[in-house]
């Protein structure tokens, strides 16, 4: 298991931010497959780039100062349960579909597989006719790079591009889907000064409204499948708005990645920050995300329960 001083967030902060985690619960999924970008990359771009990026002080090829949320999910006590497996196909810099908006990592130097490509990799790797779809959860978290690489792209179009990959898995038998909505752009350090906060909030709202509406339609069209939204927007907003608790800085970044060879460490205590760099989360913030996803994996999880961050589409 992966531990650090940052994991103290579970003791001093989790009860304030997340709903209660029942300790006597069992899990309902054997496999969790994750598709996305740098938020969920567990070293795929680092391997693709032959170690070019991310570099230290980033942790082991992650876009984090320690284990990211995927690491913490698969490195938790759930890993000790027989038959529970977590795998991320995500690549830093990935877009929803390279035919829609081209994605690239390492400051744009290396083209990377999009979410659409990642799903194809998965289907080619796992013989889908042998997958136990009843016990497999598919998680999607992407879209930010589409807008960053092509700012004129309408947010609803980005959502539609992402959901094309969800549809692909539904078509082969996928039944359980968890899709992250958009992080509040106005809270991300990289967005500071790019546009008025109200404009950034409006664009984020367009994306999240489109996701809610589109997944509701999919729910009607595919009654055999379950579609849920991970409300990362509310989770980040609540942490940023909190005036007390574990984090002491929810506005600024601790590191500044100047280029692929230069990282300036602005602060000495990244674990007290929400953002490790201009857009990525620190290990303690990743712990909050991992724990919220973990709750959804448990059989006792009540979708739409007050204080939790997963909601039925």
CA–CA dist 172, 151 (Å, integer)? 33
pLDDT digits (tens, 9 = 90+) for 74-117: 875 656 565 678 999 999 999 999 999 999 999 999 999 999 99
Percent of the chain with pLDDT over 70: 85
Domains identified in the chain and CATH numbers: 5-312 (3.40.50.1110)
CA–CA dist 46, 58 (Å, integer)? 11
Q: For residues 188-211, give the mean pLDDT.
A: 95
CA–CA dist 292, 160 (Å, integer)? 25
Whether the per-residue pLDDT at 73 is higher than 60: the answer is yes
* Residue-level pLDDT at 82: 56
Do the strands 226-230 and 136-141 form a parallel or antiparallel pair, or are they unpaired?
A: unpaired
CA–CA dist 232, 9 (Å, integer)? 18
* Residue-level pLDDT at 10: 45
Whether the per-residue pLDDT at 127 is higher than 90: the answer is no
* Residue-level pLDDT at 13: 55
Q: What's the mean per-residue pLDDT of the chain?
A: 89
Q: Using an 8 Å Cβ cutoff, are 6 and 283 in contact?
A: yes
3-state secondary structure of 43: coil
* The two structure tokens encoding residue 262: 């230069």
pLDDT digits (tens, 9 = 90+) for 246-273: 899 999 999 999 888 899 999 999 999 9
Whether the per-residue pLDDT at 11 is higher than 70: the answer is no
**Least reliable range by pLDDT among 167-181, 197-211, 297-311:** 297-311
Torsion of CA 144, 162, 234, 37, to 10 degrees: -50
Residue 280 DSSP class: P
In the block, tokens 């209660």 appear at: 20
What pTM was computed for the model? 0.91
pLDDT digits (tens, 9 = 90+) for 270-298: 999 999 999 999 999 999 999 999 888 88
Q: For residues 115-131, give the mean pLDDT.
A: 88
């Amino acid at each position: 298991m992966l531990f650090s001083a940052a994991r103290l967030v579970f003791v001093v902060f989790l009860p304030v931010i997340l709903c209660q985690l029942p300790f006597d619960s069992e899990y309902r999924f054997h496999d969790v497959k994750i598709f996305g970008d740098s938020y969920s990359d567990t070293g795929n771009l680092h391997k693709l780039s032959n170690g070019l990026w991310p570099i230290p002080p980033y942790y082991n090829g992650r876009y984090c100062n320690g284990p990211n949320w995927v690491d913490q999910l698969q490195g938790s006590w759930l890993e000790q349960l027989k038959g529970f497996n977590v795998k991320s196909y995500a690549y830093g810099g990935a877009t929803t579909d390279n035919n829609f908006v081209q994605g690239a990592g390492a400051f744009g130097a290396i083209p990377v597989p999009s979410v659409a490509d990642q799903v194809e990799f998965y289907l080619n790797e796992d013989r889908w006719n042998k997958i136990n779809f009843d016990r497999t959860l598919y998680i999607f978290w992407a879209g930010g790079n589409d807008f960053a690489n092509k700012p004129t792209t309408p947010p609803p179009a980005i959502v539609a591009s992402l959901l094309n990959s969800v549809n692909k898995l539904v078509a082969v038998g996928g039944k359980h889907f968890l899709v992250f909505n958009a992080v509040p752009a106005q809270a991300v350090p990289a967005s500071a000064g790019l546009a008025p906060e109200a404009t950034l909030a409006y664009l984020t709202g367009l994306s999240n409204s489109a996701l809610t509406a589109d997944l509701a339609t999919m729910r009607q069209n595919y009654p055999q499948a379950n579609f849920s939204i991970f409300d990362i927007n509310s989770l980040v907003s609540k942490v940023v708005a909190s005036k007390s608790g574990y984090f002491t800085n929810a506005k600024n970044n601790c590191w500044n990645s100047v280029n692929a060879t230069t990282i300036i460490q602005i602060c000495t205590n990244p674990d007290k920050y929400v953002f490790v760099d201009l857009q990525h989360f620190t290990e303690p913030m990743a712990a909050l995300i991992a724990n919220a996803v973990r709750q959804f994996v448990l059989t006792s999880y009540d979708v739409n329960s007050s204080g939790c961050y997963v909601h039925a589409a």
